[in-house]
A and B are shown apart, each in its own frame.
Chain A
Amino acid sequence: MLNEHMQTVFDYPDALTPGVTHYCPGCTHGIIHRLIAETIDELGIREKTIGVAPVGCSVFIYNYLDTDFAEAAHGRAPAMATGIKRTLPDRIVFTYQGDGDLAAIGTAEIIHAAARGENLTVIFANNAIYGMTGGQMAPTTLPGMRTTSSPSGRDVEVQGWPLKMSELLAQMPGASYIARRSVHDPGNINKTKKAIKTAFQVQLHQAGFAMVEVLSSCPTNWNVSPKDALTFIKEQMLPYYPLGDYKIGDAIKTLV
C-alpha cells in the first residue's frame, strides 16, 4: 500500500507532454518515445533539442515530446535535419523515422546523411510493415510475411529481400554509431534506452552520424494481440534482424 515511507522510483518523464498518444493499444512507439524523453531529461538537453518528425504513425511525435520539432516530407527527415544542424550547430538534432519512411521513400536521404557523416541522431523504429496506411508490405517485411499487399506472404523471388539498414549504414565511414535493439521485453527495453542515450552522446561529442534501429511491434496490422506481437519480434524478427552494435567509431569507444 502507498504510504509515507514509499518513494517514487518511476515516474512520467518531464520531456513527454501530458496528453495521451493516438497509438493503438500495445504499440511500442510509446515505449520508444518514453526512452527518448528520459534520455533528453537525463542529458538535460530539452531546451536545445530539435526533433524532426517523419511521415507514418509517428507523424504526431511533435505533439508527444516536449521539445522543438519540425515536420519533414516523407522520408526527408535526415535532409531537413542536416539543414537544421548545419544552421544551428549548437543544437541537438534528431530524427524519428519508421521503416516505411527511412527504408523506402527515404533510403537516399538516410544513406547520404550517413555518408556525409552528419552530426545527427536517428531513431529508426522498424516494425516490418506500413502501419498508418493499413498494413502494406514494407521494404523491411520479412520473407513469407502476410500483409494487405502481400496476402499470400512476401515472395522474395518477386518482391526481393528485406533491407537490413543497420548493416548497410555500418559500411559508411561517416557513420559513428550504428546499433540495433529491440523492445520486446523489459531487459531489451533497458538496453535500447542505453543505446539511445549513447546515440545522443555521440552527437554531443560531435562524433558523427548515429543511428539506433529499434525492432518494434504493430499488433493491429500484424493481426495479433500486443503480447503475441512481442513474441513475433522475438521469434520471427530477431533471426533476420540480429541485435547488436554494428559500428562503434574510434572516437566514441569510450562512450559505449
Chain B
Amino acid sequence: MAKGTITIDERRCKGCELCTTVCPKNIIHMATTFSARGYRPAILVDPNEQCTGCLLCATICPDVAITVYREIKPKATTPSTTRNT
C-alpha cells in the first residue's frame, strides 16, 4: 500500500467535517482548539502511518485546504498521478 500524508491549512479550513466523512482510514479528526477564524479545523491523527494519499479528502474539501503527498516508489513504472503535467 502506498504511503502518503496530508497537510491541512488551518487558515483555510472552516471545520465542515466533510473530509472526515470520506477518509477510508478514519484518521482525520476535528481539533478541540479553535483556529484564528473561529472554526475547529480538521487535523490528521496518523500515528501508525495509515494514510495512503488517496486524495478523497482533498477532492471533497470545499475550501481547498488540503495538500496531499505520496511516497515516490523507486522502481515506479506506472505514470505519475500528479494533477498538473
Taking beta carbons and an 8 Å cutoff, which residues of A are in contact with B?
1-2, 5-13, 16, 20-21, 23-31, 34, 38, 41-42, 185-186, 189-190, 219, 225-227, 230
Looking at the assembled complex, report how far the CB atom of A34 sits from the nearest CB atom of chain B, in whole angstroms: 5
Contact B16 A25 (CB under 8 A): yes
CA distance A2 to B7 in the complex (A): 9
Q: Does B60 sit at the interface, judged by CB under 8 A?
A: yes
CA distance A190 to B49 in the complex (A): 26
B23-57 contact mask (Cβ, 8 Å, vs A): 1 or 0: 00000000000000101000000000100010110
Contact B62 A26 (CB under 8 A): yes
CA distance A207 to B33 in the complex (A): 52
Given A20-B12, A25-B39, A185-B22: A10 and B83 within 8 A (CB)? Answer: yes
Which residues of A are found within 8 Å of B58, using beta-carbon distances? Answer: 10
B61-73 contact mask (Cβ, 8 Å, vs A): 1 or 0: 1111011111110
Size of chain B's interface in residues, with CB distance under 8 A? Answer: 37
Contact A20 B16 (CB under 8 A): no
Given A38-B83, A227-B21: A5 and B71 within 8 A (CB)? Answer: yes
Looking at the assembled complex, report how far the CB atom of A241 sits from the nearest CB atom of chain B, in whole angstroms: 20
Which residues of B are found within 8 Å of A190, using beta-carbon distances? Answer: 59
Contact A230 B18 (CB under 8 A): yes
B1-30 contact mask (Cβ, 8 Å, vs A): 1 or 0: 000110100011011111001100000000
Which residues of B are found within 8 Å of A230, using beta-carbon distances? Answer: 18, 21
Looking at the assembled complex, report how far the CB atom of B62 sits from the nearest CB atom of chain A, in whole angstroms: 3
Among B7, B22, B60, the most chain A Cβ lie within 10 Å of the Cβ of: B60
Contact B11 A20 (CB under 8 A): yes
Given A189-B59, A225-B17: A30 and B64 within 8 A (CB)? Answer: yes
> Of A20, A23, A26, which is within 8 A of B18 by CB?
A26
Contact A8 B67 (CB under 8 A): yes
Contact A25 B15 (CB under 8 A): yes
Which residues of B are found within 8 Å of A25, using beta-carbon distances? Answer: 14-16, 39, 62
CA distance A118 to B69 in the complex (A): 41
13 further contact pairs, Cβ within 8 A, besides A26-B62, A230-B18? A8-B82, A9-B4, A25-B39, A25-B62, A26-B18, A30-B61, A30-B63, A30-B64, A31-B61, A38-B83, A42-B84, A219-B16, A225-B17
> Of A29, A41, A186, which is within 8 A of B22 by CB?
A186
Looking at the assembled complex, report how far the CB atom of A150 sits from the nearest CB atom of chain B, in whole angstroms: 26
Which residues of A are found within 8 Å of B81, using beta-carbon distances? Answer: 9
Residue in chain A with minimal CB distance to B21: A227
Which residues of A are found within 8 Å of B61, using beta-carbon distances? Answer: 30-31
Looking at the assembled complex, report how far the CB atom of B82 sits from the nearest CB atom of chain A, in whole angstroms: 6
Contact A12 B59 (CB under 8 A): no
Looking at the assembled complex, report how far the CB atom of A50 sits from the nearest CB atom of chain B, in whole angstroms: 22
CA distance A2 to B53 in the complex (A): 11
CA distance A156 to B84 in the complex (A): 47
11 contacts between A and B (CB under 8 A): A2-B69, A6-B69, A7-B69, A10-B58, A11-B68, A23-B63, A30-B63, A34-B64, A186-B60, A189-B59, A225-B17
